[in-house]
């Protein structure tokens, strides 16, 4: 299956869905505090998506077994797909909140790292380097770039800081379907893999571990953790390949990277 090239009408719908996903992450920030449970954060996000945005939270009942919540909350050594629970966040915790909003049949998918109270120096550095990995990948997106080029710059940056890239999970094409082709891995060799074309939409979402790259899936069949229990961080954006660069469909106001990058 090749990547689907989006029509102008589809791109407009993707822009709207992406903007809504960004708004959820902006909204939830003030609620990520010591003593809150990740299930409470899930409820706040669910109600906001459904009642305020008139959207649908894509994770809810997605997959096999059906994902039981409306967002993913991955705390500390959880790499991705953490299921919100009644466990309270404590000072120093780091948490990735991953939201995907469906609006008019199209998906906007984004995640952001949050810190409860004061992070450790290690956590702060890991979070920063992981975001830099995402931005370095985004900055080279344009027609003619390969997926291997993107994976390579991300892998190089993480490993230059003595961190490791999770290989079992990756970014993905997105549109009317939550997960489409191509798969966007966060490691690789320059000049290999699919060549980007104008109108492609996909996510880049590097998962970076402070320790070794190995992971395991817990018995709930969703939660992915680091095997060595080292901290893990992740950031994600949904992107559109433009005629000469990239548009970040899930761009947030608090970001230093521009929404549209031209080459």
User: For residue range 105-140, what is the model confidence (pLDDT) as tens digits?
Assistant: 999 999 999 999 999 999 999 999 999 999 999 999
**What are the strands, taking DSSP E only, across the chain?**
56-57, 72-75, 78-80, 94-103, 106-115, 164-165, 171-173, 180-184, 201-204, 207-209, 215-217, 224-226, 232-234, 237-241, 245-248, 260-262
Q: What is the mean pLDDT of the chain?
A: 97
For a pLDDT cut of 70, what percent of the chain falls above it?
100
Give the Cβ contact number of residue 261 at 10 Å.
Answer: 19
Higher per-residue pLDDT: 263 or 103: 103
Average pLDDT over residues 147-157: 98
Structure-block tokens of residue 191: 């000049």
Q: What is the pLDDT of residue 1?
A: 55
Is the pTM value of this prediction over 0.85?
yes
User: For residue range 158-201, what is the model confidence (pLDDT) as tens digits?
Assistant: 999 999 999 999 999 999 999 999 999 999 999 999 999 999 99
Check whether 3 has a pLDDT greater than 90.
no
């Amino acid at each position: 299956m090749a990547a689907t090239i989006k029509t102008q009408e589809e791109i407009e719908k993707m822009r709207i869905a992406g903007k809504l996903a960004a708004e959820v992450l902006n909204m939830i920030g003030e609620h990520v505090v010591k003593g809150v449970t990740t299930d409470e954060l899930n409820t706040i996000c669910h109600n906001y998506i459904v009642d305020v945005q008139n959207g649908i939270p894509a994770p809810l009942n997605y997959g096999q077994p059906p994902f039981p919540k409306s967002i993913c909350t991955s705390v500390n050594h959880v790499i991705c797909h953490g299921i919100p629970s009644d466990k309270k966040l404590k000072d120093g915790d780091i948490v990735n909140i991953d939201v995907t909003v469906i609006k008019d049949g199209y998906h906007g998918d984004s995640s952001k790292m949050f810190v409860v109270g004061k992070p450790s120096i290690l956590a702060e550095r890991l979070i920063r380097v992981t975001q830099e990995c995402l931005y370095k990948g985004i900055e080279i997106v344009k027609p003619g770039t390969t997926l291997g080029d993107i994976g390579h710059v991300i892998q190089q940056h993480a490993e230059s800081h003595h961190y490791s890239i999770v290989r079992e999970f990756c970014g993905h094409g997105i549109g009317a379907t939550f997960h489409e082709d191509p798969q966007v891995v966060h490691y690789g060799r320059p000049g290999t893999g699919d060549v980007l074309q104008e109108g492609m939409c996909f996510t880049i979402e590097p998962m970076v571990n402070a320790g070794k790259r190995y992971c395991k899936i817990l018995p709930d069949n969703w939660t992915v953790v680091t095997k060595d229990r080292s901290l893990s961080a992740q950031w994600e954006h949904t992107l559109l390949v433009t005629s000469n660069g990239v548009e970040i469909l899930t761009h947030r106001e608090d970001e230093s990277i521009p929404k549209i990058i031209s080459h």
